[in-house]
Amino acid sequence: MGLANYITAILNFAAFLCSIPIIAAGIWFAQKPDNVCIHLFRWPVIVLGFLILLVSLAGFVGACFYKKTLLAFYLCCMAILIALLLILLVFAFVVTRPDGSYDVPGKGYKEYRVDGYSSWLRNRIVDSKSWYKIRACLADTDVCPKLNQQYITVDQFFAAHLSPLQARCCKPPTACGYNFVNPTVWTNPTNPTGDPDCYLWSNDQTQLCYNCKSCRAGLLGNLRSEWRKVNIILMVAVVVLICVYVIACSALKNAQTEDLFRRYKQGWI
């Protein structure tokens, strides 16, 4: 195996290793309770990660055995995958940039407004006809029930750093002035007109605030937070893959130039 092929094989192995954190990030993202209920966001990262893995393996085999067809396949497909990864990364940054959170005085958690998020997210989640299925799915998760095991007293609960989903689906809006019994049971609101969702709150553990508009805002907040964590991994992966691809192209071009020069020299002699 020539030096250029050896370098290309190492670079493809590096790209193969780079696909592993992408797949891991996709699996982590897909297993989150909110994403279990929203199938649209579950698969793009995982699929891209596996495609990068397969293409890297093809490039590795092509470099080891100098299979020009596999190397050409690798160069073409990897360019497409890097472009798709860049598009996904930019798109995710754009749609998750708006932040609908706001501070609640005296509380460790924030609350969230639907209007604070991007119109694309609102149209796909909040205003979609599938919300009733999403709501039922959320009610079947342990997002809210586990709060009763984690926080016993009102002081513990108010100091807690709740996820957006917990802060907006598992309890009534703070503006309503409900009295704390436990994290998912609240009584006697002092300001029932403080928020339209005040009348939608229910102590029925299958209902809670899943019918509230604020719950939709909490879901968007969770998606935004998780996507931005995944974006960090994707950004590092894109930089590494671009560097690997550029070096691999340069190595292959040099190998072809040396091969052409050697044939020319042999023919001259």
pLDDT at 25: 93
Q: pLDDT of 67-102, one tens digit each? A: 778 878 888 999 999 999 999 999 999 999 888 999
Q: Is the pLDDT of residue 107 over 80?
A: yes
Number of DSSP helices (H) and strands (E) in the chain, helices first: 10, 4
**Both tokens of residue 268?**
């001259």
Q: Where are the alpha helices (DSSP H) in 140-212?
A: 147-150, 154-159, 164-169
Report phi then psi at 73, rounded to 5.
-60, -45
pLDDT at 7: 76
Q: Which of 4-18, 177-191, 214-228, 254-268 has the lowest mean pLDDT?
A: 254-268
Report phi then psi at 76, rounded to 5.
-70, -50
DSSP character at residue 110: E
Q: Is the pLDDT of residue 28 over 80?
A: yes
Q: Where are the alpha helices (DSSP H) in 175-212?
A: none
Q: What is the per-residue DSSP string for 3-72?
A: HHHHHHHHHHHHHHHHHHHHHHHHHHHHTSHHHHS-GGGTSHHHHHHHHHHHHHHHHHHHHHTT-HHHHH
Percent of the chain exceeding pLDDT 90 equals 58
pLDDT at 260: 52
Greater model confidence, 260 or 76: 76
Q: Is the pLDDT of residue 254 over 70?
A: no
How far apart are alpha carbons 256 and 11 in whole angstroms?
A: 17
Q: How confident is the model at residue 251 (pLDDT cuts 50, 70, 90)?
A: low
Q: Across residues 18-39, what is the average pLDDT?
A: 88
Amino acid letter, 15: A
CB within 8 Å of 90: residues ≥ 6 apart: none
pLDDT at 124: 79
Q: Across residues 223-231, what is the average pLDDT?
A: 91
pLDDT at 123: 84
pLDDT at 197: 95
Spell out a b/e string for 46-73, using b for 16 or more CB atoms within 10 Å of the CB, else e.
bebbebbbebbbbbbebbbeeeeebbee
Global pTM reads: 0.85
Its sign, for the CA torsion 82, 85, 91, 96, is negative
SS3 187: strand
Contact 18, 237 (CB under 8 A): yes
